[in-house]
Structure 1
Amino acid sequence: MEEGKEEEPILCSAFPLGRVRKIVKLDKEIIRVNSEALFLISLSTDLFLHFLTEKSMQVALDKKRKTIKTDHIRIAAKRHPPTADFLLDSLPMPSQPPVRPSSDQTKPSSSHGDEKPLPPGVRRIEQFFHKSAGYGSQIAHA
């Protein structure tokens, strides 16, 4: 080895390149990706996650918590505008403390009267499957 020349650290990807390729190809506009680009995307993702984890950890420590929660990630993203521009829309809304109704106001609002109320942002499976008015008539005429 020559004097004055330091060894460069060997960079290795934390993510499997095959999986990164599949994720990149989910974009319909991308047909092919070369291996160097995949490697750089993987390293960039690793660096970004490391950065976001450090910032979220700092928020958790500021709030005297040992566990990083979604709210900590949201606050860390808000503090870094370039990250906030694209990440805040993807994060779930901040959790809200549950409102406990008084005993006078407890009425079963549907046929699910015996079940516990759903947490915020959660819907029952029946809400996904509504019959449209024209659906049954279209089948009958077919």
Structure 2
Amino acid sequence: MAHKRKGKKDADITRMTDEEIRIMEEHVEEILSSQLPMGRVKKVCRLDPDIEMINGEALKLMTKAAELFIVELGRAANTNAAMEKRKTVQLKDINNCIKKQWTFAFLEDALDDWPKPETKKRKAQGETTVLEETLNGDGEEEDAEDVVEDSQENVVDDSQEPDETVPDSQEGAEQPEKVDRFAGQF
């Protein structure tokens, strides 16, 4: 009977020290760490009716894969925005990436139901906004004294408030003094 001799490479794999194993496990944990919350990825995975439970290790791999996918789509969209001389990535940049790159082609119908961004109406030339009128003083010209008088009319004067008294049904009872509603607040 011929015995097969173990090669040097085979011996190295089986003779790993505990320290080497610990270093490798830490390296794997570093690789699998993600900035995405695993709970959120788990909820997305459960949207598939075929998935009932997810193993913890599988969830870590799914989270890392989702993060890497988002990074790649973000880079492609950022490149598209830079080609149009913009710093801000817009929805149209993501759409262009999906249409132009085969790696994102599976997302082609994903943004069809996405709400369209609202367009802001620009003012016509010669129109001014309320803020500009206020700052420039072009609006209704009101004297500062009128504004002060109007604001003073709305101020409640404590000296004009009626005294709070007990209703007529308790005429024989002792009348309380004026109640200060604002006591202790200032």
The normalised TM-score by structure 1 is 0.56
**Contact preservation (8 Å) 1:71, 1:94:** no
Measured after TM superposition, the shift of residue 53 of structure 1 is 0.6
Cα deviations by residue, 1:114-142 (Å, 9 ceiling, x for unpaired)? xxxxxxxxxxxxxxxxxxxxxxxxxxxxx
Cα deviations by residue, 1:97-117 (Å, 9 ceiling, x for unpaired)? 9xxxxxxxxxxxxxxxxxxxx
Counterpart for residue 62 of structure 1? 83
Q: List alignment gaps of at least 5 residues for structure 2.
A: 1-18, 120-186
Pair 1:88 & 2:108 matched: yes
Counterpart for residue 50 of structure 1? 71
Amino acid at match of 1:88: E
Amino acid at match of 1:33: I
Counterpart for residue 26 of structure 1? 47
Residue among 36, 40, 44 paired with 2:61: 40
Measured after TM superposition, the shift of residue 93 of structure 1 is 8.4
Give SS of 2:110's match.
Answer: coil
Counterpart for residue 77 of structure 1? 98
Q: Count residues in correspondence.
A: 94
Measured after TM superposition, the shift of residue 80 of structure 1 is 1.4
The whole-number CA distance in structure 2 between the counterparts of 1:8 and 1:37 is: 17
Q: Which runs of 4+ in 1 moved over 6 A?
A: none
Amino acid at match of 2:56: S
Measured after TM superposition, the shift of residue 26 of structure 1 is 1.8
Give 1 or 2: higher helix fraction.
2
Measured after TM superposition, the shift of residue 94 of structure 1 is 7.9
Which protein shows a greater Rg? Answer: 2
Q: RMSD value over aligned CA atoms? A: 3.0
The whole-number CA distance in structure 1 between the counterparts of 2:36 and 2:115 is: 28
The normalised TM-score by structure 2 is 0.44
1:93–1:79 distance in 2 versus 1, CA, 3 Å:
farther
Q: List alignment gaps of at least 5 residues for structure 1.
A: 98-142
Percentage of matched positions with identical amino acids: 32
Measured after TM superposition, the shift of residue 28 of structure 1 is 1.2
The whole-number CA distance in structure 1 between the counterparts of 2:58 and 2:97 is: 28
